[in-house]
Amino acid sequence: MDIRALSIEGAFVVTPRQFPDDRGVFLESFRGDRLAEHLGHRPDVVQTNVSVSSRGTVRGIHFADVPPGQGKYVTALTGSLVDYVVDVRVGSPTFGQWEAVLLDTVDRRAVWLSEGLGHAFCALEDGTTAMYLCSAAYNPTGEHGVHPLDPAVGLELPEGVTPLLSPKDSEAPTLAEAAGQGLLPTWEACRAHAEELARRSR
């Protein structure tokens, strides 16, 4: 399993080693101990989510209050998607920037997003199934969003895709509006939370 840091602190792409034979393929899709070597703590998987999306579906940009936040480990079980990590942490040196990773059933990569990062994806095929391992349970009062098509963020959607958004996501504020409303986590709070998680694991 190869774990590589992305340019946004707290985000990693995980590429598993696959073992194919005439029966199919075997791989380790998640290793909390290996992630701990990079995070400073072992992620606590509290909730698993599964979404099934048609081609062009865009989910996000979603994030949660920190603390406790909600770390996410995202992979594709069927189909393919472009996964976006968006830095919505006010004060971060990469605030407003994003990275995209292709998640599919060929390389079977996964993405880890630490607490406080924004997450979105765009499904490339009908029936694309994404699985999320989450470090905290869903908390409707602590969950927020930024409009995924906010031009100031500038997510580059795949060519030829017509985006399909939920009513909630289509009504989400822009990044600037979310900042003005005090909805965004701060870099300072996210770093303090990460340090606290590391202390607990010692």
Q: What is the tens place of the pLDDT at every residue in 52-68? A: 999 999 999 999 999 99
Question: Which residue among the candidates 62, 119, 147, 193 is catalytic per the annotation?
Answer: 62
Q: What's the mean pLDDT when you consider all of the chain?
A: 97
Q: Could you read off the pLDDT of 173-188 as tens digits, one per residue?
A: 999 999 999 999 999 9
pLDDT surpasses 80 at 4: yes
Predicted confidence at residue 70, as pLDDT, reads 97
When pLDDT is averaged across residues 16-44 and rounded to a whole number, the result is 96
What's the rounded Cα separation, in Å, for the pair 173 and 186? Answer: 17
When pLDDT is averaged across residues 154-167 and rounded to a whole number, the result is 97
Predicted confidence at residue 201, as pLDDT, reads 83
> Where are the domains positioned within the chain?
2-148+158-201
pLDDT surpasses 80 at 202: no
**Annotated catalytic, 138?**
no
**Annotated catalytic, 132?**
yes
Question: Which residue among the candidates 41, 73, 119, 132 is catalytic per the annotation?
Answer: 132
pLDDT surpasses 90 at 134: yes
With cut-offs at 50, 70 and 90, classify the pLDDT of residue 74. very high
Predicted confidence at residue 186, as pLDDT, reads 98
CATH architecture of 2-148+158-201: Sandwich (2.60)
When pLDDT is averaged across residues 73-95 and rounded to a whole number, the result is 98
pLDDT surpasses 90 at 23: yes
